[in-house]
Structures are given as C-alpha cells and as structure tokens.
Chains A and B, each alone.
Chain A
Amino acid sequence: MSSSTKALYARIGRRETHSSRSMLAIVLAIILIVVFAWVGTEVVIALLGLPALLVAPSDMFASAVGLAEQPAALVSIAGIVAAVIGLVLIVLSLSPGRRARHLIDTERAVTVVDNEVIASALARHASYAGNVDPDNATVSVSHRLGVVDLTPTSGIPADRDAVTRAVSDQLDSYGLRPTVRARVRIAEKGKVGA
C-alpha cells in the first residue's frame, strides 16, 4: 500500500470513528447570523427614524448598562444559564467526539465495526465458554473496555478464567483499533433452571 493510500485510509478511518460536530456548528452559525441580522436591521431602522421592530438600539445599550439595577435573582439565574451553555459548548468543542465504533485491521479497505456488533459477538462466545444461556450474558463495549456480565445457572458454576480466555482470544483475533480489554464479571447469585 502506498503512503498516500495509507494516509487516505487513516483519514477515512478517523472520519468514520469521530463525530464532525458539523451539525452543532451549523446550528450555532444560523443562530448568530439571525441575531446579527436583526441587530443590523434595528440600527438601520433607528437611523431612518422609524419605530423599532422589537427593541431600539438605544434601549439595548441602556438595559445592558443598567443590568446591576435589575433584580439580583433574575440576573444571576440568567448568568448561570449562559455559563452552563458556554461550558457545554467548550466541552463539546474540545472533546474528541468519538463514535461508538472501532476499526478493524484489514489490508485492502477501511473496515469500521459498531461496538454493538463486537458486543454481540463476544456475548455469544462468552455464553458458550461460561456454559450459560445467551439471555444471561450481557456485554457492553466501550472505547477501550469490554465488560462481560454473566449470570450462571444455579448449580452449574461458570468458569471465570475460561470465559476471560475465550473473550480475550476473540478480541485478539478481531484486531480492533484501538485495542479492547476484556473484563468478566460473574454474578454471585445464579438463576434457577436457566
């Protein structure tokens, strides 16, 4: 594989496993455009000496300057809401925006697999290795960790090591990127006749 193809594949892989945040950016841009268009219109209307659409620019400045004279409770609540929205936006802009997906090492293509698919494959293997019913095996796969929860049948103990081995073998054979580690938890309480 040439280096340019490699770079292209890396780019595609990155795009498939990360959210682009374009939706959020578009929504924010539209809101800002509408607000500034409205302010501009108000300014032009005020210069022409016509009645204001909603608020005249001079009243906007007056109320912004006189903010301290407003009831403290109202101002602080509005401030907190604005701060929270700001914080959420900052976190969203800095976080990696990962999707629940992994890449699989393949030679000829970029292969993307959903975490749910990995989880259901692991659940099948874990239920056989632990000798429990598939209904009693739940698996959740996150970025780096796959957690396997088994509820054994009463009187038939599940072998934790065997399950861990089976699940780890499977994870190794998939060749996921980034690699996923397995953690197996076996419930203390069994289920009768399941």
Chain B
Amino acid sequence: MTSAATTPAGAAQRGRTRITSKALNRVVSAVTADALGVDANRVGVDLADRDGLLALTVTTPIRVVSLDRIQSDSSVVNRSGGSILDRAARAQGDIRERVTTLTGSQIAQVIVKVSGVWIQPEERVK
C-alpha cells in the first residue's frame, strides 16, 4: 500500500481485510484433509509466529490401505501415493503452497504430525 492509501481515492476507503486465526485454522485443516485424504474435522492445527512469518503445526491422521490388501497386491502402496513418510513430506509442500495461495500469508515452516491412520479399502470407481 502506498502513502496515498488514506486519500479520498486511496485503498483505505475500501476498508480493511483481516483474516482471523479461526479462518486460517479452517483453511489449513481443509487443505491438510485434502492432501492426506482424511476428514477435515479430525485435523488439529496450531498456528504460531516465527520472526513475522507463519509457522503451522498440523496434527492429522493419514489415510492408508489395509495390510490385507498390501499383502495380496504390493503395488497398491505406490498406487496410493507411496509410503506414509513420502506422502506426509509431499503434504507439507502442498499445504505450504495452497495455504499461501488461499490466504496470502507467507509461511516459514509446516510441521506435519501424523497421529493415526485411517484404514480405507480402495473403492471401485463408480
């Protein structure tokens, strides 16, 4: 914003946009849920400040295929996106990018804590 913000035609006349921490929480949990294939209300989000940038800590379950299924067909791991660690690492990048895009906040770090698994049989495409 420039110094002319408060002149009659300046940005100040439009008002102010503020993204509350509650809204940020919702956005982060939705993005995380999307990235890991789980329900958004089972994702815990903790927002902190790190030298003026946003630091996210998400505590989330992760969706995996059942062990029975892997035993009968080991390629199902690759098909579901790789190992849990790989998917969590990829989710970190996804969360950072999409939260920045959606909220415009710069993010210092994303910590993904996998707190559980959600076993889900692969479904036939309907």
Q: How large is the interface on A (under 10, 10 to 19, 20 to 34, 35 or more residues)?
A: 20 to 34
Min CB gap A129→B, angstroms: 6
Bitwise, B11-49 to A at CB < 8 A (1) or not (0) is 110001011111110000000000000000000000111
* A192 x B106 contact (CB < 8 A): no
Min CB gap A187→B, angstroms: 8
For chain B, the count of residues having a C-beta within 8 Å of the partner chain is 28
* B6 x A124 contact (CB < 8 A): yes
In chain A, what residue has the closest Cβ to B18? A133
* A156 x B104 contact (CB < 8 A): yes
In the assembled complex, the Cα of A170 lies from the Cα of B2 at a distance in Å of: 12
Q: Which residues of B contact A17 (CB under 8 A)?
A: none
In the assembled complex, the Cα of A187 lies from the Cα of B53 at a distance in Å of: 12
Interface centre among A124, A154, A189 (most CB of B within 10 A): A154
* B106 x A128 contact (CB < 8 A): no
Partner of A162, one of B2, B47, B104: B2
In the assembled complex, the Cα of A157 lies from the Cα of B3 at a distance in Å of: 17
**Is there a chain B Cβ closer than 8 Å to A177's Cβ?**
no
Interface residue ranges, A against B (CB under 8 Å): 124-125, 128-129, 131, 133, 152-157, 159, 162, 165-166, 169-170, 187-194
Interface residue ranges, B against A (CB under 8 Å): 1-3, 5-6, 10-12, 16, 18-24, 47-49, 51-54, 103-107
Besides A154-B47, A154-B48, A155-B107, 17 new A-B residue pairs in contact (Cβ under 8 A), listed by A number: A128-B11, A129-B2, A133-B18, A154-B49, A154-B52, A154-B53, A155-B54, A155-B105, A162-B2, A162-B3, A187-B52, A189-B49, A189-B51, A190-B53, A192-B21, A192-B24, A192-B54
